[in-house]
Every structure is written in structure tokens, then in C-alpha cells.
Amino acid sequence: MTKKTAPDILRIAVAQLNPTVGDISGNLAKAREARADAGRQGADLVLFTELFLAGYPPEDLVLKPTFLKACERAAQDFANDTADGGPGVIIGTPLKRKSGTHNSIILADGGKILAERYKLDLPNYGEFDEKRVFQAGPELQGPVNFRGVRLGIPICEDIWGDVAVCETLAESGAEILLVPNGSPYYRAKIDVRHQVVIRQVIECGLPIIYANQLGGQDELIFDGASFAIGADKTLAFQMSQFEEAVDVTTWKRTSDGWVCSEGPMSKIPEREEADYRACMLGLRDYVNKNGFKNVVLGLSGGIDSAICAALAVDALGEERLRAVMMPYRYTSKDSLKDAEDCARALGCRYDIVPIFEPVEGFLHTLTQLFEGTKEGITEENLQSRARGTILMAISNKFGSMVVTTGNKSEMSVGYATLYGDMNGGFNPIKDLYKMQVYALSRWRNSHVPPGALGPSGEVIPKNIIDKAPSAELRENQTDQDSLPPYPVLDDILECLVEQEMGVDDIVARGHDRATVTRVEHLLYIAEYKRRQAAPGVKITRKNFGRDRRYPITNRFRDRG
């Protein structure tokens, strides 16, 4: 018998796709389509992302036995497909074994499952909670043989932590490392990923292919941007960000190991474009994956609702957004004009529903109860709650999801009304501070992001960007009546939330101590509101909800 020689060329397709959590049959169909595409491009092997068949993260679905059985059936069916002589596959799926339920991959070729590998390092920080539902692999298993090439297959966190998985695989004879990932987006995350992989390449001396999931899953955005770092520590290929793709890369065996000779080299978006596209993708997937036909939002003439309207049109199309202006006695003529101009620029449906009668009705009903009290925030909030009720009524009547429009600055300090402007199903700007909202609005007026369904040109009227922000709940009101200027507020909040800095350190940056302690106090006492807020896109390293879990009942204050 003639001994089969190892190949000198290996064509590896990276399937950077958008699965849906729990849609096992749909994810399998997507995987089959991608494998067929890769086969037509001449691929030998297709690398899918972490837990692809289940969707990532599946959270407590993993605790459901029928879910695990359905995932394993899909994995076996996909393995059976490889009997057709086409590409082999590496695909992620949960697997229940004697050692526990594992975050796993299977390698299949020739109609058979050739190997299983289990994730060793389970992340349990920030947005990750895998130790709740998975057990770590019982031990590090060595490379797998695929058509004569020894592949190491660590899974996501296995290359992020301190466990020497890559180095051990290299010592066990691996020639290339292929890493399926479910790495969520935050600003500048691509640079972090590159540095993680470069560090591992230095340790193990092998090229590493990093395949990352795409798509929105509740608050999390998976931005794709799959890539490889060669053994020489240079970028071997770079796939696009925020776009599905099945790209075939060609690897050649040389005297110095495997080298990528062909692959994409996509341009990665700059900061504002990346944030905007993340918000757009998150809104689109939340609406579409949850089966909403259209959305509705309150268009006030302010910048937050304007950018949310632009995101909705870009994500879903003008025909799927209904914008509603709900004026009261304090609504300025500028706001009426600005809201109409914004809706006209975006091409969406625009309705005007005055709230004078319902607000006056509430006030009349409460006259006796409120007798002898001073008019103030309570009466202002009635306006917001009347608007929230109208939007929810439209949602109930027409099946439209309400898009809520509060930014992170407001949510941080409680400058929002429960059961009023906080009403809604999803908030695309929940993790953007106010000054970031301004920056993205200016960027959108000069650019149309790839995949956007909205028009070019100025979609957020200049007057909305230039005028002083106001809730318009009383005469001549501006946000700065109650809050520090937004550049000051945002910097203090970033120090408190993202960096967990103490008051003394924030004051040392040049901020007034009384202002800092007041903002800290407002941040803590608004926790109960945030617990009742709609989910929204994660943009920063530490969003409210998954990343920052402070108690509602909390008497701690930093007094040095």
C-alpha cells in the first residue's frame, strides 16, 4: 500500500455568519449553504464559529435536555453531509458527555465525526457567564489529523486566558491553530483581539486563524472581522467587519511551516463608523430575529430620537418606521419643524398626536389629591408618561415594536421617566454617551454606512445638532438646568462606570468635587430605573446590565 503524503496546500474557508440562538434547523441550513459555497470556491475545510449550531450565547437553553439533543442531531446530520467528498467542517455545538455538558466543536470529514474538542477555559466575567451552564473540558486534547495536516483547535477563551493551550498544542505537534470564537464588539475590540493572537503566536510559533461570529444577540453585537496572524507575527488576512462572508484562504507548506498565500485584506471601519454600524446591526437583528414587522418611536425634535430614527431607517428601511411627534404646550416651534424635517429627510411615516387632552385629563383627575402642593417634576413626568402610553397603544394596535431613545448619560443619572420615555422594546443608543450621540450624528450626515437602507445627505437636521438639548417639559427648559454640561458629565461618568475610578482620582483630573459626588450619587440611586430599562446595543467595555451589576439597595458612597 502506498503511503498517502501530507498536502502542501490547504484551502481553509472561514464562515463568518449570523446564526440565531435556538434556531438549530435554521443555523444548520445556513451552515450547509456556506459549506456548498466554500466547496464551489475549492475549499478543503470550512471553519465555523463558536457554538454555531446553537447560536451564541445560548445561556440557560443549555440546561434543557431537548435542546442539547437537537443540537447533537444537527451536528451528526452535518457530519453525514461530508460523505459527498466536499469540504470537511469544524463547527461549534454544545455536547453532553459523561464528563459534563461542554462548549464543543466537532471535526467532520468523509461522512464521519473524526474528533470532538471541548473548551477548557470558561469565561465568567463581563458579558460571559459560561460556568453557569458548561463544564470545562476534562483535559487538553491534542491536535486532530485532517487529511494529513495536524490542526490544533482551541475554542475562544482558550487563547484569551493564562492557560497555555496554544503552546501545549504546538508541543503536541500541531501545525496550524484554528480558533472558533464568539467575541462581542466593543469600541477598538479588533486591536485587542489582534494583540491576544500575536501574544499566542509568539508563545507557540504557529499561525493562528481567528474565526469570529457575526450578528446581534440581545445586547451583544458580534462584529465578525475574522483574521489570521502568521507565524512571523504579521497579519495574514483580514475579513470584513459587520458583514457576513465565506472567504477561502490558501495556506502553503514551507520549510518554515504553513504560510497564508491568499486571503482577503478588508479595511476595518474607523471609530464612528464602527459604532454606528454596531448600533444598526443590533437594532436590525433584534427586530428581525424577534419577528417584528416594523417599529415606532417618538420623534421629539431632539438629537437622541433623531439618531434613533436614522438608525431605524438604515437598519430596516423607511417603510418599517413610524415616527410620532407628540406636542404639548412646552413643545417649541423649532422642535415641531426639526422633527418634521428629520422625518421628511428619512422618508418615513410621520404622525402628529397632540397630548394636551390626556395630560390635562390626568392633571384634572389629580387636582384634589395634589391640592396644596407645588407643581414640579411630577407634573412634568405626566407628559412623558402620556407619550409613553400613546406609543405603547400604537405598538399594541399595530404590532410595532417601540424603539426607546435614551442615551447612556441620561440612563446613568436617572434623567429618564419610568413608564414614559423609557417605554420600549429595544434601545439602539443605550450604551452611547451624549457626546458620542453628537459625534455619530455628524458622521451619519456625511456618510452612508455599507448595508444601510436609508438615504444619503443630511438626515439629522443641523438645527437638531446645534441647539441646546431639552426635554421640553417646562418653559425654556434645557438639560443643563439639572445636569452638568455634557462634556463634563460624560467624562465623570466614563471614569465612574468604565474605569471604576474613585472620587479623589476624578477630582484630580480637574473636576469639581461637589459635581463628582453629586453625579456619583445620581448614578447609584438610578439603578432601580436601569433594571427596568429596555435592552440595548453594547458599545463600550462596560454596559449597564451584563457588564455592570450593582445592587439597587446600596448605601456606599466614595468619600475618600
Question: CA separation (Å) from 497 to 176, 489, 536?
Answer: 40, 12, 17
**3 assigned binding-site residue:** no
Kindly state the cell numbers that stand for 15: 464562515
Counting Cα atoms < 13 Å in the Cβ hemisphere of 280 gives 27
**Structural contact between residues 377 and 474, judged by C-beta atoms closer than 8 angstroms:** no
**168 assigned binding-site residue:** no
Vertex 130 angle, CA 127 and 134, to 5°: 170
> Position 441: which residue type?
S
**381 assigned binding-site residue:** yes
Choosing from 30, 71, 130, 156, which is the catalytic residue?
156
- C-alpha 429/C-alpha 537 separation (Å) is 7
Q: Which helix (H) or strand (E) holds 100?
A: strand 100-109
Query: Of the candidates 221, 326, 208, which has an alpha carbon nearest to the alpha carbon of residue 275?
Result: 221
Q: DSSP assignment of 269-335, as one string?
A: P-HHHHHHHHHHHHHHHHHHHTT-S-EEEE--SSHHHHHHHHHHHHHH-GGGEEEEE---TT--HHH
- C-alpha 263/C-alpha 226 separation (Å) is 11
Beta-carbon contacts of residue 178 (< 8 Å; ≥ 6 apart): 12, 47, 90, 151, 152, 153, 208, 209, 211
Vertex 508 angle, CA 502 and 509, to 5°: 100
**106 assigned binding-site residue:** no
- C-alpha 433/C-alpha 410 separation (Å) is 8
Q: Which helix (H) or strand (E) holds 514?
A: helix 513-525
- C-alpha 34/C-alpha 60 separation (Å) is 28
156 in catalytic set: yes
**301 assigned binding-site residue:** yes
Which residues on adjacent β-strands are paired with residue 323?
Answer: 297, 350
**Structural contact between residues 433 and 409, judged by C-beta atoms closer than 8 angstroms:** yes
**305 assigned binding-site residue:** yes
SS3 468: coil
119 in catalytic set: yes
Choosing from 30, 50, 495, 538, which is the catalytic residue?
50
b or e along 207-226 (b: 16 or more beta carbons within 10 Å of the residue's beta carbon)?
bbbbbbbbbbbbbbbbbbbb
Q: Which helix (H) or strand (E) holds 109?
A: strand 100-109
Kindly state the cell numbers that stand for 552: 439597587
**350 assigned binding-site residue:** no
Choosing from 30, 72, 116, 119, which is the catalytic residue?
119
**456 assigned binding-site residue:** no
The Cα diameter of the chain in Å comes to: 101
**304 assigned binding-site residue:** yes
**Structural contact between residues 13 and 38, judged by C-beta atoms closer than 8 angstroms:** yes
- C-alpha 13/C-alpha 193 separation (Å) is 20
**405 assigned binding-site residue:** yes
Taken in order 496, 499, 500, 501, the sign of the CA dihedral is: negative
**125 assigned binding-site residue:** yes
- C-alpha 453/C-alpha 364 separation (Å) is 45
Residue 265's φ and ψ, nearest 5 degrees, are -135, 75
Q: Which residues are annotated as a binding site for ATP?
A: 298-305, 405
Q: Which residues are annotated as a binding site for L-glutamine?
A: 125, 183, 189
Q: Which residues are annotated as a binding site for deamido-NAD(+)?
A: 381, 410, 529
Just list the catalytic residues: 50, 119, 156
Q: Which residues are annotated as a binding site?
A: 125, 183, 189, 298-305, 381, 405, 410, 529
